[in-house]
Structure 1
Amino acid sequence: MVSTVPLIDVVTVSTSTPAKGAAARKPRRPRIPGVLLKFVMAVSGAFLLLYLVLHMIGNLKIFFGGAELDGYARWLREILEPALPYEGMLWIVRVVLTVSVLAHIWSATVLALRARRARPIRYAGGNHKLPGSYAARTMRWGGVIIVLFVVYHLLDLTTGTLNPNGEHLQVYANVVADFAPSRWYVTLFYVLAVVAVGLHVRHGLWSALQTLGVSNGRRQRPLQIVSTVFAVLLTVGFLAVPIAVTFGVV
């Protein structure tokens, strides 16, 4: 029997169905290029690294006596006065650091989530010890320790809330009270956090050099050594203060 359905109806049905499906799909948001995310992470990490170096140098003034360290703390608040108000430069640094931290965490998180989505199935046999996996895991748990330490450090030696002495601009007395032998657990936590910072810096510096295209060809091995030595020196510089106080050198 010949179909009695008009040809025009068949054509209309067959052409209208895909149109409805296309209209139902929502337009995708523009995807931020991975290269841009890596660049943001590298630049924000550079700002944080510069701060760490300057902060370490300032901390080491404790070995020149209390007057030197306390005077340095006052000088930080008086930079560019009267062009800037009291603590003006210090607040500019704090804002830049906050933006750098947020940008660093955001870019790292987005890249990590993309990497996980790109490889949703675990490797056969549960083998996770592939090149780069150890460093990636170290960066993750190290980042958590660093964030917790920064929060504690601000409440301890910046606001003085958790410090046994906690007096404003009495930096030397605050540090000595903080790392007293009876507070060995604080020193231990500080050591753990600084080691995590060192591992983070070593891997982060090497990754940043790769992102910026510096580590190519024969320069890879020397730059790996430079990254490791830099991270070790930074770690030793930060650990010198709490260990010296705990063991009575300061």
Structure 2
Amino acid sequence: MALATRTERRTPTVVRLWRSTIGKKTVMAVSGAVMLLYLIAHMVGNLKVFFGADEMNDYAHWLREIGEPVLHYEWLLWIIRVVLLAAVIAHGVAAYQLSRRDLAARPVGYKHTLARTSYATRTMRWGGVILALFIVWHLLDLTTHTVNPNGEAGKPYENIVATFSTWYGNAIYGVAMIAVGLHIRHGFFSAAQTLGAGSATRDRSLRLIANGLALVLTLGFLSVPIGVMTGIVE
């Protein structure tokens, strides 16, 4: 027992925190906040598509020049991508380990696991899987143009129109954005609780904020394919 205690004391604080349930929940909350900020900025940028090809393409070019001459061309964009990737990985790993820990803590003889799993938990799990698959599709679609045969480097407006001119592009994006909304709706409130923002008096306000954020982001992202389908964006 004493040996175990001495070993635990020698373990770095960061490692001990990561191994704990509260540590994993904190990692999920912080990484979720990073991704939420990115989603808000990304949605605002996407809405520039309604102002025409020149403004959208100029905006995309400006993103690659941010930080010059201190930073080289596209450096800040790559820094953002690396931070975002780290947040996605940390979020996914923590979520998976917490899920396994939760399953292991249940009674061995329990046969109705699915019945005990809350709607919110199932939504978060499946929503996370859908979003992970969508990220891969999104990169292959609008970054590498692997699944977008009409895609052209340096022309995001034209690439967006090409993507949402197909039924499958709209279907995949629509399902993913609904998953984003549900994920934010449940995740924001849960993260606020983990970070200590929740209380008996603030929970109602936090739920309203979560619902509002989810609705605004979902509608904001979906407005782009709807704009293409209706001919507003062409």
- Please, what TM-score do these two structures have when normalized by structure 2? 0.89
1:208 matched to 2:191? The reply is yes
Q: Which residue of 2 is the match for residue 133 of structure 1? A: 118
Q: Which amino acid aligns with 2:101?
A: R
Q: Which residue of 2 is the match for residue 78 of structure 1? A: 65
Q: Which residue of 2 is the match for residue 195 of structure 1? A: 178
* Residues 68-217 of structure 1: pairs in structure 2 closer than 5 A: 68-121=55-108, 126=112, 128-130=114-116, 133-180=118-165, 183-217=166-200
- 1:184 to partner: Cα distance: 1.3
Could you give the per-residue CA deviations for residues 42-88 of structure 1, whole angstroms, max 9, x where no partner exists?
11111111000000000000001000000000001000111101100
1:35 matched to 2:17? The reply is no
Could you give the per-residue CA deviations for residues 5-51 of structure 1, whole angstroms, max 9, x where no partner exists?
xxxxxxxxxxxxxxxxxxxxxx9998611111111111111111100
Q: Which runs of 5+ in 2 are unaligned?
A: 1-6
Runs of 4 or more off by more than 2 Å in structure 1? 27-31, 120-124, 126-130
- 1:223 to partner: Cα distance: 1.0
Q: Which amino acid aligns with 1:71?
A: D
Q: 2: CA distance between counterparts of 1:98 and 1:136?
A: 23
Q: Which amino acid aligns with 1:223?
A: L
- Please, what TM-score do these two structures have when normalized by structure 1? 0.83
Could you give the per-residue CA deviations for residues 69-128 of structure 1, whole angstroms, max 9, x where no partner exists?
00000001000111101100001001101111111111111111111100144657x374
* Residues 8-23 of structure 1: pairs in structure 2 closer than 5 A: none
Identity %: 54
SS of 1:217's equivalent in the other structure is: coil
| Count of aligned pairs between the two proteins | 220
Q: Which amino acid aligns with 2:83?
A: V
- 1:158 to partner: Cα distance: 1.0
Q: Which runs of 5+ in 1 are unaligned?
A: 1-26
SS of 1:214's equivalent in the other structure is: coil
Is the CA contact 1:184–1:246 (under 8 Å) kept in the aligned structure 2? no
- 1:213 to partner: Cα distance: 1.0
